[in-house]
C-alpha cells in the first residue's frame, strides 16, 4: 500500500515537473511573439505578434499589418501561418504550435483548424472578439474536422499591458490632433 502511494506521488511529481517545463517553454516562445508585437506597434498597427513553432524551431512569424498592407486578413496569426506553410511546403502545418499575444478571432481560429495546428497558446484575453474562450469556444465545436488544443493566458499581464499602452498612446495622439484643429 505504501509503495502504491509513493508511486502515485512520484507520478504526480513527474507530471507537475513536465507541466512546469512546458510553461517555461510556452513563456519563452511568447516572449518572441511579444517582440514581434513591438514591430506592429512601431508601424502604428495594433501590437499583436505570433510565431509558429515546429520541433523547437520557429517556422513562421508575423505581426499585425492590416493597415499597412491594405489587407483585412493580415493578422499576425495569418501571416505567421502563411510563412510556416511556405516553410514546410504544405498548407498544413501538422504538429506545429502557434503562439500569439492576443486571443484569436474567428478568422484566425478557422485558419488554425484548416492548417491542422496542434495547439494555440495565447497571452491576453480578447473580450470583444476572442473566440477561443471569451466570446465562444470555437475550437470545441464538434463539427470541426480537426481538434486544436489551446493554452490561455500565457504572460497575459505583459501582453495586456502592451495593448493597453498602445491604445492609451493612440487616444492621447487623437486628443492632441483634435486640440490643434
Catalytic residue numbers read 77
Map residue 58 onto helix, strand or coil.
Answer: strand
Whole-angstrom distance, CA of residue 146 vs CA of residue 135: 20
Query: What values do phi and psi take at 154, rounded to 5?
Result: -75, 120
Query: What values do phi and psi take at 133, rounded to 5?
Result: -140, -25
CA distances from 95 to 76, 116, 133, 164, 171 (A): 19, 7, 22, 33, 40
Amino acid at each position: 500500500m505504501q509503495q502504491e502511494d509513493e508511486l502515485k506521488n512520484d507520478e504526480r511529481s513527474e507530471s507537475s515537473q513536465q507541466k512546469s517545463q512546458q510553461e517555461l517553454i510556452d513563456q519563452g516562445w511568447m516572449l518572441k511573439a511579444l517582440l514581434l508585437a513591438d514591430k506592429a506597434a512601431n508601424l502604428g498597427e495594433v501590437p499583436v505578434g505570433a510565431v509558429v513553432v515546429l520541433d523547437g524551431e520557429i517556422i513562421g512569424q508575423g505581426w499585425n499589418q492590416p493597415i499597412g498592407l491594405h489587407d483585412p486578413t493580415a493578422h499576425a496569426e495569418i501571416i505567421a501561418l502563411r510563412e510556416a506553410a511556405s516553410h514546410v511546403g504544405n498548407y498544413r502545418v501538422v504538429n506545429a504550435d502557434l503562439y500569439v499575444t492576443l486571443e484569436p478571432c474567428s478568422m484566425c481560429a478557422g485558419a488554425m483548424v484548416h492548417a491542422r495546428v496542434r495547439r494555440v497558446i495565447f497571452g491576453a484575453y480578447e473580450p470583444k472578439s476572442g473566440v477561443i474562450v471569451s466570446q465562444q469556444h470555437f475550437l470545441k465545436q464538434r463539427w470541426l474536422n480537426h481538434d486544436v488544443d489551446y493554452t490561455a493566458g500565457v504572460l497575459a499581464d505583459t501582453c495586456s499591458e502592451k495593448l493597453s499602452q498602445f491604445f492609451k498612446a493612440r487616444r492621447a495622439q487623437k486628443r492632441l490632433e483634435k486640440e490643434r484643429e
